[in-house]
Chain A
Amino acid sequence: MSKISIKDMNLWYGDFQALHGVSLEIPQNEITAFIGPSGCGKSTLIKSLNRMNDLVEGCRIEGDILLDGKDIYKSNTNVNTLRKDVGMVFQQPNPFPMSIYNNIAYGPRTHGVKDKKELDEIVEKSLRDAAIWDEVKDDLNKNALSISGGQQQRICIARALAVQPEVLLMDEPTSALDPISTAKIEELVTELKEKYTIVMVTHNMQQASRVSDHTAFFFNGYIIESGDTRKMFTNPKKKQTEDYISGRFG
């Protein structure tokens, strides 16, 4: 079942067209990976799924993006609710310069949770779900910037989970991390797909093949090929895909 359907979408930054006629189905409770060389439009597409592109000046979009069958670019869409439902984790870990507890509680508070006990529960559950509770449970009042980069990234994942999203967008979540932290995040992501639909941009071919169920290969603003990850990596239909996956360019 498709959680998100992208239909014939074009996107411009000013005069520059960054996406050309992109269509893609993103299945529920599975991991979809976006791969492709730098500047091919994969980050642009992922940022369109929670309308973070609205913050980019001169960005214009044509076509439809449906979340559970509803067009998220309709004028009556509440962008704040959309972003609550479609959470995002960034390339660089970006915890706020405040305590770990307040980082996680920020989202729920934003959406109206005030009760201290309820917040405590959300914080603990989110940190457990992000597999970092045991590492930080005694340091919840510590500044989130004082922990390691890998831990920070899991704090950011916990922060995104705390508002109970349905979809989790991850824009190269491990590219700034060391191999051990990367392995932890990958393991975490495979666990998270039980509850969430996950879309992940990655530069790392092995990561895409290890973690994802579906893959879309982007090139110059077009989706060249998309489908089941295993099939695509063992038996790509297009020559370009094969060349990229085998490392001949990109």
Chain B
Amino acid sequence: MKAKRLEGVMQGVFLFSALISVLSIILIIIFMFAGGVPFMMEYGIVDFLFGDRWSPSNTPSSFGILPMILGSIFVTIGAVVIGVPIGILTAVFMAEFCPPKLYKILKPATNLMAAIPSIVYGFFALQLIVPIMRNFSGGTGMNMLTAMILLGIMILPTVIGLSESSLRSVPRSYYTGSMALGATHERTVMKVIMPAAKSGIISSVILGVGRAIGETMAVVLIAGNQPIIPQSITSGVRTLTTNIVLEMAYAAGEHREALIATGVVLFVFILMINGLFMMIKRKESKA
């Protein structure tokens, strides 16, 4: 009888713990949308999303976040172009070519990369990438390309970790099947193992995109932060996230609501990315 009651209590504890996380995500959604959507309606969704002027302190003030939307998209695309090939090739190397001794160093190193606080990445970029960029393109060196390179590095652990584990989970029988046909190790990896791990690798890229688009503290240090549509890859850029963090401290009234609405837009982006991720996962488990 006593054991049964304890079991019931424990079940309650587990349920409560599970509910906390569900509750938080629900509360986040409610507060974000409650804070941001009324402003969007009032200001006009089209003017808000597609307006290219962001000048909160003008009278009348304008809150067009197109420069930030484009900034986030451009920077993320750049990060993917730089980080994904390096990340996938690293994962292939680690899963199929790496000598065990080197692996013992490489694996903890990539794990550590994921654990470094983003502000540290930003500081690193400020010290290293920005001066190089200044020599290369003139200006301050804080621009879109700098942000792309930094984010390309920052998404590496995500891409590497997930790609490697999906490569490792490819059944060994595919490998032996290919080798038994007289294929080389390299050909087997490229033509059989990698295609078999395709959906895992694509998932890793999508998660990398999520990481790049949501990154804030590192980007704010090195991107220049001008709220205008960047004219070239070496123009300064402001993203959705940095827009919020730059102005939230002093914003009030309509300005503050506009920043929350910026957060809503970012949130919708993240929801879409996660939806895509789940779709691919579901397809994978069906196949």
In B183-219, the 8 Å CB interface with A consists of 183-184, 187, 191-192, 195-196
- Partner of B173 from A52, A92, A110 at Cβ < 8 Å: A92
Q: What sequence of 0s and 1s flags, for each residue 70-91 of chain A, a beta carbon within 8 Å of any chain B beta carbon?
A: 0000000001111110011010
Once bound together, how far apart are the Cα atoms of A248 and B239, in whole Å?
A: 77
Kindly state whether residue A128 has any CB partner on chain B within 8 Å: no
In A133-165, the 8 Å CB interface with B consists of 143, 145, 156, 159-160, 163
Contact status B173-A94, CB under 8 Å: yes
Kindly state whether residue B174 has any CB partner on chain A within 8 Å: yes
Kindly state whether residue B271 has any CB partner on chain A within 8 Å: no
Residues of A near B176 (CB, < 8 A) are: 52, 55, 90, 94
Kindly state whether residue B85 has any CB partner on chain A within 8 Å: no
Contact status B181-A90, CB under 8 Å: no
In the complex with contacts A96-B192, A98-B195, A110-B187, A84-B181 CB distance below 8 A: yes
Kindly state whether residue A97 has any CB partner on chain B within 8 Å: yes
Residues of B near A90 (CB, < 8 A) are: 173, 176-177, 180
Contact status A156-B177, CB under 8 Å: yes
Contact status B173-A84, CB under 8 Å: no
Once bound together, how far apart are the Cα atoms of A163 and B182, in whole Å?
A: 9
Once bound together, how far apart are the Cα atoms of A98 and B178, in whole Å?
A: 13
Residues of B near A195 (CB, < 8 A) are: none
Contact status A55-B177, CB under 8 Å: no
Contact status B174-A80, CB under 8 Å: no
Contact status A83-B196, CB under 8 Å: no
Instruction: State the Cβ distance, B190 to closest chain A Cβ, in Å.
Output: 11
Residues of A near B173 (CB, < 8 A) are: 90, 92, 94
Once bound together, how far apart are the Cα atoms of A102 and B176, in whole Å?
A: 17
Which of A50, A55, A87, A94 is packed against the most chain B CB atoms within 10 Å? A94
Kindly state whether residue A107 has any CB partner on chain B within 8 Å: yes
Instruction: State the Cβ distance, B38 to closest chain A Cβ, in Å.
Output: 50
Instruction: State the Cβ distance, A68 to closest chain B Cβ, in Å.
Output: 17
- Partner of B181 from A83, A92, A143 at Cβ < 8 Å: A83
Kindly state whether residue B252 has any CB partner on chain A within 8 Å: no
Contact status B179-A52, CB under 8 Å: yes
In the complex with contacts A94-B171, A97-B195, A110-B187, A87-B181 CB distance below 8 A: yes
Kindly state whether residue A210 has any CB partner on chain B within 8 Å: no
Contact status A159-B174, CB under 8 Å: no
Nearest residue (CB) in B for A54 is B179
Kindly state whether residue A111 has any CB partner on chain B within 8 Å: yes
- Residues of chain B touching chain A, judged by Cβ–Cβ distance below 8 Å, are 171, 173-174, 176-184, 187, 191-192, 195-196, 287
With contacts A88-B180, A96-B177 known, what are 16 further pairs, Cβ within 8 A? A52-B180, A83-B179, A83-B180, A83-B181, A90-B176, A92-B173, A97-B195, A106-B178, A106-B181, A110-B178, A110-B187, A111-B182, A143-B287, A159-B177, A160-B181, A163-B181
- Residues of chain A touching chain B, judged by Cβ–Cβ distance below 8 Å, are 50, 52, 55, 79-84, 87-88, 90, 92, 94-98, 106-107, 110-111, 143, 145, 156, 159-160, 163
Task: List the 9 closest pairs (A to B, CB-CB), nearest first.
Answer: A84-B182, A94-B173, A83-B182, A88-B180, A107-B181, A80-B182, A94-B177, A110-B183, A97-B196
